[in-house]
Structure 1
């Protein structure tokens, strides 16, 4: 009897907990601590004709920051999100950074957000990332 009760409680937790997890959006959170004297603006993606456009900008004079990136991200509710496209700002622009991208993401209506961030090396993918709000766009 005790084993059946434990199994029932475990099954309930798995089913109920799994249902709660799938109801949550997979939207990324802001990552990392902003270096002193640095800032990031992560623009919300928008429609530009049939294309999706995204922007990011920042100011950072920290010596351990090598570059700036802005990424368009496809939000998949309840699943890992997918980085669709990435643009980089040249280190030569330091300490003022900006990046703008335009893409056609295969057609349809999709929920997007933008990640803008600083990184020390490309392999890190982003040591400090700030995300924009989500928006649903129809695109080519």
Structure 2
């Protein structure tokens, strides 16, 4: 069959679909405008998040440890993508792919243990120090 003899697909179904979508959107937005509630409470124009009224500035300082944990999360999250892609291509990769993913997961595990050992994953208060201070204060109050 000669390629010059083929006819292009008709475009009218695409235009009908586009017109149908535009009409449906217009109908939905019009109905919500005419049937929707209109009220003006005292807090209607104020910023609102999770039911908590604003109390101060949104410019808060976070410790550098917070950003470190966030970066590690992103890195480990991306590595999960690599593992999922490996799982999808498991049949084609064979034993060589299996051994390489084992090395990859081993390195991830070694990095996780290293980060844990240096305290990079401790982004909250130290519970042992708090408990020790609490016990010390209880003993001080009893005396």
Q: TM-score, normalised by structure 1?
A: 0.21
Q: Which has the higher strand share?
A: 1
TM-score, with normalisation over the residues of structure 2?
A: 0.20
Larger helix percent = 2
Higher relative contact order (Cα pairs below 8 Å, separated by 6+ residues): 1
